[in-house]
Structure formats: structure tokens, C-alpha cells
Structure 1
Amino acid sequence: MILKEQDNEFTLDCLLLAGRIMIESGAETYRVEDTMLRMARSQNMPDAQCYATPTGIIFSLGKTQPTRITSISKRITDLQKISLVNSVSRRLTSHIITLEEAYDELKSIQKTNYFLPNHVQILAAALASGCFLILFKGIWSDLPITLVAGGLGFAMLLLMNHLTRVKFFSEFTASLTIGLVAYLAIGFGYGTQIDKIIISSVMPLVPGILITNAVRDLMAGHLMSGLSKGAEGFLTAFAIGAGIAVILSF
């Protein structure tokens, strides 16, 4: 009996770890619940129940089995980790690996940082801003300014996020930097279309995946998760707009 309880506790640890990694990496709520339930069924626990939100998970292995609650305090967008957890889940449900092996892989995934170095992220943001300028039918002479504005804005985002850990303030400061660079460039005659420069430069900051996940959760019937993610996306959009508005108002 004691051994069985220990096995159940270990199963809970493994499944909650998988769910935590997915939510912290920006996965949709319905995907998190489906993954955890599939993993539970692979361990002969068909009565498992799961309730996930962006801020926590409640999971039970069955009516007479233990129930565990875990809170989620941070969320980023890391599609690599989501993909790796899905891979572990598929191999576990196909009985290619054991639960112990799955737990070890999940611990490794949780500890590993799959993000590219900061300078590569900044370079990618600058190039993306330039591409958006062409996509929005901007003029080629504004391309250098857009590259600089997009890169500096994203660099400020990373810096302020490291210093303050406040997402709203980081995004506000980043958009403020972009607006200031664009305004000064136009003022000194280095740019022409300030609207295209600003719009293109803020695109790397736009929470596209967050808004998409919010809509997908709403369509899947997870109203609380969809609304909360939508509200988070709205706050990000408001921070970006407020930073640009501050510059343009002066």
C-alpha cells in the first residue's frame, strides 16, 4: 500500500512537471490538459482529471487518488520546450520510454535554456523589423533607421525585463525607445515615413502567439484561460501603444 502511494505521488510529480513546463512556455490550456490526461491514461489511470489555467493546475489521478495543486507565476513563449514535452508525452503513451525516463527528460527540459543568445535575438528583431517595413510598403531609404529602431527597442526590452521582471514596464520602455529613435531620425532628416518606421519596429514586440492562444482557448471552451490570456495580450498592446503615444504627444 505504501509503495503504491509512492508510485502515485511520483506519477503526479511527473505529470504536473509536464503541465508546468507547457504553461510556463506559453502552451494553450486545452493542449496542456490533453497532454497530461494522455500521459495519465498511459499509466493505467483512466479516471484522472485535470483543470489548468494560466496561473495554476489542479490534477487528480482519480476519485480515490491523491490530488495536487501547483501554481504558475511566470510565463514566456518557448515553442521549443512545448515541442519537447509533446515528444516525451507521445513516447510515453506509446510505451517507448518509462515514466522514470520521462521524468528525467522533463527535468532536463525544465533546466535547459533553449533561447538564442541575446545578441542573436536583437539581430533577428532588427531584421524582422526591416522585413516588415518592406511588407508594409515603406521606402527603402527608411530601412537603416527601422533596423536600428527595431534592434534597440528589443535590446531595451531584454534589458528592462532582466532588471525589473515587470513585463508591462519592459514593453512600455521598449516602445518608448522605438518611438524616440524614429522621432529623432525624422527630426534630423535621416528618415521619411515615421508611421511605417514605428509600426515595423514594434512588430517584434506584438504578442501574436499570446493572442492566438487566447482565441484558440476560447474556441475550445476554456473561457477563463482565453479571457485571461486575452487580457494579458491587451495589456501588452496597451504598453506598446502607450510608449509610442508618449513620444508622439511631445
Structure 2
Amino acid sequence: MQNDELLTTCLLAGRIMIEGGSEMYRVDDTMRRIAKNGGVAQALVFTTPTGLFIGLEDKPMVKLSPVDRRSIDMEKVAQVNQLSREFAAQAIDLPTLHHALRRLDQHTPFFPFWLQVLAAAVCSTTLMVIFAQAYDWIDMPLAALVGALGYAVYGKISSLTQVRFISELLGAFVVGVTAWVGVRLGLGHNLDNVIIGAVMPLVPGVAITNSIRDMLAGHLLSGIARGMEALLSAAAIGVGIAVIFRFF
């Protein structure tokens, strides 16, 4: 019974971390540490972006857990790490750890959507300045507006469909259309700079970075899978922008 709850807790921690966008080697390490601190000297762990397996050496006990969704939520990853450290320091016991992970999985705190859209506007403006290497005070407000609208569409479509590439394509399309309309109305000067800044909140930079880090850490299957997912996301964004340049 103790081992059953321990393996279930390890799988729950690993799934939360993958859904939060953690690197796979960090997920593997956290699951092993929880198992070791729970009294299992050698746990057999196999992690992929779509599923987790854990078993006990020399014992016929294996558990698995599917991973249905993946996003970027570093707060989830940080809280799982903190709970794992408290368990290692014996500040909490296994049932308390399991309960805390279940509560984290079901009630993860999020920033309100309007604040996320506002952050996308600020990000679009600052990154436009970085990539354009110039303070274009006319294009900056337009880049903020376009970036906010694109991210708002991306967020709303993401809540309606499980296919993330559709939301990224439509978000990029809205970025291209609103940037083109804004420049045509005289609200901005350089269409390229506005689009470059406004599309950046949609770019899967964390996924690409984690893919490379996983491959360098020896998790080749996970690294390639995440890399392909990131490339498909980038392709969807590229198609959404390319449509604007092709027909407008």
C-alpha cells in the first residue's frame, strides 16, 4: 500500500511538471528523488512528453500516467520542486505530499487573462525595439496593440480546441491582419518591425530550448518529440503571417 501511494505520487508530480513545460531530465530526477526519499532505493522511471512509467526494481509493480496537455507554467514546476524538497527534508510526509500535489493539479493559480494580454502588449513593444534596434515611437503603440490582439485570439481559441496549432495559426493571422490595417491607416510606419515584435509572444521559445536541453541530457526521444512540436508551432505561426504577405 505504501509503495502504491508512493508510485502514484511520483507519477502525479511528473505529470504536473511536464504539463508545466519542465525539461524531461528534471522530471526524471524529481520522480527518482521522491521515490528514494519515500524508501525506494531504485525506481525505474521512463518519461516521454505524452506518458510516464514508473516501477520498482525486482518487483511486479508498474504504474503509468498519460499526459494529455502541455503548456508553459513555471509556477507549477517551481511548486512541485518546493514540495519535493520539503518531502526530502521530512518536513511533510507522503500523504501530505500527495494531497498537496493533487491540490496544485486542480487549483493552479493563474494570472487573470487581461493581465496576460497586457503582458503580451508590453513584450511585443520591447522585443520590437530589441529586434529593430531603434526606438520608433510611432510603431511601438501599434506593436503593443497588435501583440495584445493576437495573444487574446490565441488564448481564446486555445480554450476552445485541443489542437494548439490552430490557435497559433489564427493568432498569427490576426497579428498580420491588424498590423497591415494599422500601417495602412497611418498608425505605424514599418510593417515588418510591427509584425516581428507582435508575433513574439506566440513563438515557442521555451519549447525549443527544452528540446535542445533534453537532447543534450540524453533524453533523445523526448527532445526530438518536443523539437518537432515546437517546429510545427513555428510553422503554424509562419503560415499565418505568410498569408498576409501573399494576399495583402
TM-score normalized by structure 1? Answer: 0.95
Q: Which residue of 2 aligns with 1:61?
A: 56
Q: Which residue of 1 aligns with 2:139?
A: 142
For the 8 Å contact 1:47–1:63, the answer to whether it is kept is no
Q: Which residue of 2 aligns with 1:3?
A: none
| Residues 66-105 of structure 1 aligned to structure 2 (within 5 Å) | 66-105=61-100
Percent identical residues: 40
Q: Distance in 2 between matches of 1:153 and 1:114?
A: 23
Q: Secondary structure at the match of 1:49?
A: strand
Structure 2 residue runs of 5 or longer lacking an equivalent are: none
Q: Distance in 2 between matches of 1:47 and 1:216?
A: 25
- RMSD between aligned residues: 1.0
Structure 1 outlier segments of 4+, above 2 Å: none
TM-score normalized by structure 2? Answer: 0.96
Among candidates 186, 190, 193, match of residue 193 of structure 1: 190
Q: Distance in 1 between matches of 2:229 and 2:88?
A: 33
How far is the alpha carbon of 1:64 from its aligned partner?
A: 1.1
Which letter maps to 1:209? V
Q: Secondary structure at the match of 1:140?
A: coil
Q: Distance in 1 between matches of 2:65 and 2:187?
A: 52
- Which shifted more, 50-59 or 160-169? 160-169
For the 8 Å contact 1:26–1:210, the answer to whether it is kept is yes
Q: Distance in 1 between matches of 2:108 and 2:93?
A: 25
How far is the alpha carbon of 1:65 from its aligned partner?
A: 4.4
How far is the alpha carbon of 1:189 from its aligned partner?
A: 2.0
| Residues 168-183 of structure 1 aligned to structure 2 (within 5 Å) | 168-183=165-180
Q: Distance in 2 between matches of 1:113 and 1:249?
A: 42
User: How many aligned residue pairs are there?
Assistant: 245
Q: Which residue of 1 aligns with 2:128?
A: 133
Matched, 1:238 2:235: yes
Q: Which residue of 2 aligns with 1:227?
A: 224
